[in-house]
Amino acid sequence: MSEEILVNFSPTETRAALLENGVLQEVYVERSRNKGHVGNIYKGKVVRILPGMQAAFVDIGQERAGFIHVSDIATIDQSGMEARLSSETDIRRVLRDGQDLLVQVVKDPIGNKGARL
């Protein structure tokens, strides 16, 4: 027996379906009625790097790409400890266009601006 879980996310709702042998078994729908995204963790993709601002835009599947500053990026050192980058670090040495990135929302989108990551 093969099982698949399909997930679809939009700014207003999240849908998940369970398929067994290609046959739909269960469907879940969650509507987000102004529910914030702060704290949510996403696997995003870097879509634009702004070297002059030491920042990048990351597509996290929302209406607008999220914004991350180099000083908000954490790396894991050889001992397994988290280390934050300094704002002096050139963001182009850390991120590249198209790179997958695990991010957490720290500020909800507002107006025409995406979430702060």
SS3 string, 3-64, reads EEEEEEECCCEEEEEEEECCEEEEEEEEECCCCCCCCCEEEEEEEEEECCCCEEEEECCCCC
Mean pLDDT of 19-29: 90
Give the CA angle between residues 72, 56, 107 to the nearest 5°: 55
pLDDT at 57 over 90: yes
Identify which has the larger pLDDT, 101 or 35.
Answer: 101
pLDDT at site 33: 65
Closest to 91 in 3D by CA, of 68, 107, 113: 68
Output the pLDDT for position 34.
59
**pTM over 0.85, yes/no:** no
Q: What is the DSSP letter of 106?
A: S
Domain ranges within the chain, ordered by starting residue: 1-35, 41-104
Calculate the average pLDDT of the chain: 87
In this structure, what DSSP letter does residue 98 have? T
- Read off the amino acid at residue 83: A
Q: Calculate mean pLDDT across residues 80-105.
A: 86
Residue 111: the pLDDT is 83
